[in-house]
Structure 1
Amino acid sequence: MGRFLELDDTSRLDLNQLVKMLPGRQGWSIVKWLPRGSYVRAILSSWPVLQQYGINTPVRVAHFIGQGLVETSWLTATEENLKYSASQLIKTFSVYRNNPRLAEQHHKQPEKIANTAYGGRLGNDQPGDGWRYRGRGFFQVTGKDNYRRFGEISGLPLVEDPDILSRDLKASVEVAAAYWDHMDLSWPADQGQSRAVSRGVNRGDPTHSSPAYHEDERLLWTEKVLELLGAAEQVIDGSGRDLSLGMAGSDVRKLQEDLLFLGHEEVGAADGVFGRKTRLAVISFQDEAGLEMTGIADEETLTAIEAALEDHSKPPADQQATASRIRFRPFEQGA
């Protein structure tokens, strides 16, 4: 399997490396026979289509693939998994929250669940439409209206044959690219507004007030793909948020750099991903600063870190007349 997407003759995305990073790591000798291998081949052959829809820079490609990874459960699902338990139904769909008895009756019965959860909305106006137009493909197109709209854009007969999206994964990538273009998601991707991209894909509206499903994972995997493309600096938004396990972005990287500068070497590499080592370093700083040791870099903790950095940068009184020390933090704006 070769490399993919030679961008500006410098940046390349090696899908071999990406596959090795995904949950349930498997060798290509196994992956090539699975949906994951089929998705990889579909992406590899889709560069002309992505260019057609303006997904033609490292940042845009990384956001597009990062979203698709989560939408497809890391390239393992060709259609929506509707085998929900009763408790999952109540948690996921309002129709079942309002009728717990119905949730018990539909426990792990995908067709009944789809027709109940999606029937009468999303353009599903005929009996069985909820199941017929369930989520499929790289961006999990759902509902007759969306099948019709993106069938027209891509020139595919999706209303007549919705299984195209699970049967032909290259077609599903093309439809996802058409959706991306229709929602004008290149602009928020260019601005590093990963939450807006996530909500545009999952909520159908980049300005939606509710988080996308698994929004933090979408940010994390976008960041990972950006790193593979060598374009990761300052691309994930979220300034001012509390930072905790599983998050990713330039603000996480800055936190890691700050902790390293303050001597909390247990943080490890400043890779922009809030993992176990970063959590331990945050706890260590909180202990040192007399704060509650939550492992979450909340506003109080981040303010204390900034204060510590200021104190750490000041020379001792007996060295005031000597040249001031200069600290180097490569991703600090204005440095």
Structure 2
Amino acid sequence: MGVLANQVVAKFAPNAKPGYVAAFADPAGLLAAAGITTPLRLAHFMAQALHETGALTILVESGRYSAKNLGAMWDSGNWHRYFPDRAACVAMADQCAIDGGIALFSLVYGNRMGNGPRETQDGWRYRGRGVLQTTGRDAYARFGARCHVDFEGHPDLVVDAAHALKPALLEWSAKHLNAAADNNDIETVTLGINGGLIGMAQRRVWFARIWPFIIGAAPLEHSTEWKVQSALVAAGYHLGLPDGVVGPATRLAILAYRAAKGLAPSPQVTPDLVHALGV
């Protein structure tokens, strides 16, 4: 494999935390030992890692939720079981401003993933950390036992440069995500990491940016498809984040734009569309 993980980090995560930079230098060959030895596997792993960590700038999950953030969590259905109504969820923002999220995480992560009830503050202690945001006391204990590192007793070791890749790669392997990557199945990869499809659009964009770099192709931003999507977004057509893939949302935006401009109806990227958009 030509391009290495540390080259992806240098290209796409210029503000990465030093510990992550050191970890992805991978002197022990942990990525290869986990079977991440092909361009496709590396692209999928790095796309998930960069998404989960905000381009390797996030070591530990932040609990400083604003009222807007908490409202979004309620609206997405994530925290309905923990609050009687939306107003109670949003009101937690005042407490987050005081304690940084201790009460919030103790509540929403309590009594699950091996965590004790809220009064133990396990939900706070074992909140998301590291390359793939290891979460929950069970995961810290399980990965610690496999790595012979006391992650349960010392959770911050999950983001130590010497260990940061270890729990992430164990999770990757346990979910058989090399096979999903081989099939270029980003939804299965995301389900394995996230348990759902939260942030799917952003994960697709990370992959679409990283993949050409790894295989030595032109950058995503040079593709006609990406330029068309960007022009449509700029024109007020909300198709999501440009990713260079003409999917259902992009096709609907193209049809709407064509109708507004009096162009022949077609969901495809064609020369008349490119010309009209000034791409």
Q: Please tell me the TM-score bracket, short chain as reference.
A: 0.7 to 0.9
User: Could you tell me whether the CA contact under 8 Å between 2:130 and 2:164 is conserved in 1?
Assistant: yes
What residue ranges of structure 1 are gaps of 5+ in the alignment? 1-6, 204-209, 234-242, 256-273, 292-300, 310-335
> Separation in 1 of the partners of 2:184 and 2:216?
11
Cα separation, partners in 2 of 1:20 and 1:54, compared to 1, 3 Å: closer
The residue aligned with 2:276 is none
2:116 pairs with one of 104, 110, 125: 125
The residue aligned with 2:133 is 140
2:166 pairs with one of 174, 186, 189: 174
* Pairing 1:164–2:138 present: no
Offset, 1:147: 1.2
> Separation in 1 of the partners of 2:150 and 2:5?
33
CA RMSD of aligned residues (A): 3.2
> Separation in 1 of the partners of 2:162 and 2:242?
30
Percent pairwise identity: 27
Offset, 1:66: 0.8
> Separation in 2 of the partners of 1:164 and 1:53?
20
* Pairing 1:246–2:241 present: yes
User: Could you tell me whether the CA contact under 8 Å between 2:5 and 2:25 is conserved in 1?
Assistant: no
User: Could you tell me whether the CA contact under 8 Å between 1:50 and 1:174 is conserved in 2?
Assistant: no
* Pairing 1:101–2:123 present: no
The residue aligned with 1:289 is 263
Secondary structure in 2 matching 1:186: helix
Q: Residues 164-215 of structure 1: CA distance to partner in whole angstroms, max 9, x if unpaired?
A: 113x034121210111001110111000101111121111xxxxxx52x211
Amino acid at match of 2:214: L
> Separation in 1 of the partners of 2:114 and 2:210?
34
* Pairing 1:115–2:74 present: no
Secondary structure in 1 matching 2:17: helix
Between the two structures, name the one with larger relative contact order (CA 8 Å, sep ≥ 6): 2
> Separation in 2 of the partners of 1:283 and 1:46?
51
Amino acid at match of 1:131: W
Offset, 1:287: 2.6
> Separation in 2 of the partners of 1:283 and 1:40?
43
Q: Residues 89-147 of structure 1: CA distance to partner in whole angstroms, max 9, x if unpaired?
A: 24322224636336414343311111011011111025111111011000001111111
Secondary structure in 2 matching 1:82: coil
Amino acid at match of 1:56: T
Correspondence 1:17-96 to 2 at 5 A:
18-22=9-13, 31=15, 35-45=16-26, 48-92=29-73, 93-94=79-80, 95-96=82-83
Cα separation, partners in 2 of 1:170 and 1:221, compared to 1, 3 Å: farther
> Separation in 2 of the partners of 1:122 and 1:103?
24
The residue aligned with 2:178 is 186
The residue aligned with 1:225 is 210
> Separation in 2 of the partners of 1:99 and 1:287?
42
Cα separation, partners in 2 of 1:172 and 1:17, compared to 1, 3 Å: closer
User: Could you tell me whether the CA contact under 8 Å between 1:90 and 1:96 is conserved in 2?
Assistant: no
Offset, 1:247: 4.2
Secondary structure in 1 matching 2:3: strand
Aligned residues: 237
Cα separation, partners in 2 of 1:99 and 1:60, compared to 1, 3 Å: same
Cα separation, partners in 2 of 1:14 and 1:200, compared to 1, 3 Å: closer
Q: Residues 200-255 of structure 1: CA distance to partner in whole angstroms, max 9, x if unpaired?
A: 1111xxxxxx52x211111111222211111779xxxxxxxxx9341425x43x99
Offset, 1:289: 3.0
Cα separation, partners in 2 of 1:232 and 1:115, compared to 1, 3 Å: farther
Q: Residues 233-278 of structure 1: CA distance to partner in whole angstroms, max 9, x if unpaired?
A: 9xxxxxxxxx9341425x43x99xxxxxxxxxxxxxxxxxx8xxxx
Secondary structure in 2 matching 1:149: helix
Offset, 1:67: 0.4
